[in-house]
Amino acid sequence: MNDEEPICEECGERPATWHLTEFVDGQPVQHHYCDKCYAEKEGGGAILTPQIAFAQLLAALAPELKEMAGRQCPVCGINYLEFRQNTRLGCPHDYQVFESALEELIQRIHGATEHCGKAPPEAGKGALTRRRIHALQKEQQEAIATQRYEQAAELRDRIQEMKEQTNEPDEPDG
Amino acid sequence: MNLTSLTDRPVEWLKGGPESDVVVSSRVRLARNVDGRLFVWRASDEQRAEVEKLLRDAILSLELEPPLTYTRLDGLDPVLLELLLERRLISTEQAEGDWIRAVAFDEAEQISIMVNEEDHLRLQVIRSGSRLQQAYRRADELDDALSQTVRFAYSEKYGYLTACPTNVGTGMRASVMLHLPAIVMAQEMDRIIRTARERRLAIRGVYGEGTHGAGDFYQISNHVTLGVSEDELIETVARAGTKLAEMERTARLNLYRQHRKEFETRIRRAYELLCSASAISSQEALNLLSQVRMGAQMNVLEETRIETLNKLFLLTLPAHLQTMEGEVLDNSVANEVRAAYVRSVLTSG
């Protein structure tokens, strides 16, 4: 989860998990909604299964299409339009080829764009470090919530240290 | 193996387990793809065959004791495909496909590994009751073991790479299946949906379309798979399962205390119907069995045991019924056969 999650502009209370770009008079306007308000705006009450939510997200991506339309993956041959039509990518390499459009899509689906879970044996330490930072951030939030400010400060320092470590040159992306 | 013999065996996920008065089962599914290969839908038949062989070798090299049963699904009798689906060994997508694909599962039917579903590999572990941790540990172990011989598509940034970005990252779907007859009866499903939504969890009816579930079985699962660790996802879903189970128990108690007469009458009527109907559809059977199961759980109904009811949930499903009968049944005949079967099981205790 991001540190700085925007708050829903509708209710002003819950964290926003839906980030939409509307074009008004040719200018992009950003909107941020929480699940509840977004569902209500979209005709409320419907359960958003992953498939339905994904299709809706793709529909909202229309502006990106112009930019991406020309790109094609050298490995599997799909272009961005085909991806949108099938809602599936053609091969692992597509995550690099269509990265900029995917980044936003993935952000909307998951509220995050970086893996911090398990890694296979041959992988580098990136995800592991992020997982550790993530865990420390949770501890820090709990410490703040229970007013253990000294502990929270210590954690803040540890997190800072770890973040600095990850800014060192990384292995190339797999 | 002869798949029809599966009907003689109980399924893992109806075996009871912790909190199984409400939490019927727990499941962890991991999605993986072979590095350097096209995703299933984009690949040619030849490429799919190559991946199937590669993964078959990897799965068989696991050398589990007892060994996994590996079954090719292309060309399989549709009734047997549906049988596997009813037993939750394969997904709907896997059952409906028409390309080279397979499933490997263990004798206990806790482990199920699908080859060439939406992703090259969909590894699943199911346990009865509320046992998400255990299910995850087993799935994790199997994933590690397979990683020794297969290089999975992975990037530092996005984690495990999947055909659909909705699964990228951990590639993990953790879910619990809940039995919520009282919540449904008290018309409080919107509370459940709200609770699920607040925790960024998806909820759907297990038997049926969309949110309504015949038999009052519901599945809650995570839909976020990136930016969280596997442990966090497990914890979130397990906690939600426990919370929703509490809500169901409270609802059952309320129904019993505040509407006792109606409650008992309703349960009784469901039981009597099951014992006497001359024809009954699968949906009807699920709904009535659901009422009776709740009654048995709460000791309102003592004529029948939970184990018996759990068995009936499965054996009244279309493919199971047909397989036991050993012949193709058209709908109305199936409904009569089902009714006869239910009557005989219930009246013999």
Strand residue runs (E) in B102-179: 102-105, 111-115, 121-128, 154-155, 159-160, 172-179
CA distance B83 to B93: 14
CA distance B87 to B327: 19
Q: Return phi, psi of residue B39, to 5°.
A: -65, 155
* Cα angle: B222, vertex B224, B227; to 5 degrees: 130
* Cα angle: B7, vertex B132, B254; to 5 degrees: 85
Q: Tell me what pLDDT residue B247 has.
A: 96
Number of Cβ atoms within 10 Å of the Cβ of A124:
15
Across the A:B interface, residue pairs with CB atoms under 8 Å apart total 151
From residue B236, how far is each of A79, B22, B303 by CA, in Å? 37, 18, 38
Selected residues 147-206 of chain B with any CB under 8 Å from a CB in chain A: 147-148, 151-161, 163-166, 168-170, 172, 193, 197, 200, 202-204
Selected residues 225-284 of chain B with any CB under 8 Å from a CB in chain A: 225-230
H-run or E-run covering B72: strand B69-72
CA distance A89 to B204: 26
CA distance B85 to B92: 7
Q: Is A166 in CB contact (< 8 Å) with chain B?
A: no
Contact A50 B39 (CB under 8 A): no
Q: Tell me what pLDDT residue A169 has.
A: 47
CA distance B164 to B76: 27
Q: What is the nearest CA distance from B129 to chain A, expressed in angstroms?
A: 24
Q: Tell me what pLDDT residue B145 has.
A: 94
Q: Write out the two tokens for B328.
A: 């193709």
Per-residue pLDDT of chain A (174 residues; tens, 9 = 90+): 334 557 788 888 787 777 766 655 555 667 777 777 777 776 544 445 555 566 666 666 666 566 677 789 999 999 888 887 888 999 999 999 999 889 989 999 999 999 999 999 888 777 778 888 888 888 899 899 999 999 999 999 999 988 887 665 444 443
- Buried/exposed A70-94: b ≥16 CB within 10 Å, e otherwise: ebbbebbebbbebbbeeebbbbbbb
* Cα angle: B307, vertex B313, B314; to 5 degrees: 100
Residues of chain B with pLDDT under 70: 209-212, 349
Measured over the CA atoms of residue A141, residue A143, residue A149 and residue A152, the dihedral's sign is negative
3-class DSSP state of B115: strand
Q: Tell me what pLDDT residue A62 has.
A: 62
Selected residues 18-57 of chain A with any CB under 8 Å from a CB in chain B: 35-36, 39, 47-51, 53-54
3-class DSSP state of A122: coil
**β pairing state of B111-115 and B23-32:** unpaired
H-run or E-run covering B203: strand B201-205
Q: How far apart are the first and last CA of chain B?
A: 32
Q: Is A104 in CB contact (< 8 Å) with chain B?
A: no
Contact A36 B197 (CB under 8 A): yes
Contact B237, B176 (CB under 8 A): yes
**β pairing state of B102-105 and B111-115:** antiparallel
Contact A112 B230 (CB under 8 A): no
Q: Angle at which helices B318-325 and B306-315 pack, to 10 degrees?
A: 90
Q: What is the nearest CA distance from A61 to chain B, expressed in angstroms?
A: 14
Contact B38 A75 (CB under 8 A): yes
Q: Tell me what pLDDT residue B304 has.
A: 86
Q: Write out the two tokens for B165.
A: 């970005």
CA distance B92 to B286: 19
**β pairing state of B217-222 and B69-72:** unpaired
Q: Which residues of B touch A92 (CB under 8 A)?
A: 33, 35-37, 39, 153, 155, 161
**β pairing state of B102-105 and B23-32:** unpaired
| pTM greater than the 0.90 cutoff | no
Q: Which residues of B touch A171 (CB under 8 A)?
A: 156
CA distance A172 to B139: 29
Q: How far apart are the first and last CA of chain A?
A: 23
Q: Which residues of A touch B169 (CB under 8 A)?
A: 110, 115, 117
Report, in angstroms and rounded to the nearest whole number, the Rg of chain A calculated over CA atoms. Answer: 19
Contact A87 B211 (CB under 8 A): no
Running DSSP on this structure, what letter comes out for residue B169? B
Contact A75 B200 (CB under 8 A): no
Q: What is the nearest CA distance from B273 to chain A, expressed in angstroms?
A: 33
Report, in angstroms and rounded to the nearest whole number, the Rg of chain B calculated over CA atoms. Answer: 21
Contact B165 A89 (CB under 8 A): yes
Q: Is A58 in CB contact (< 8 Å) with chain B?
A: no
Q: Is B44 in CB contact (< 8 Å) with chain A?
A: no
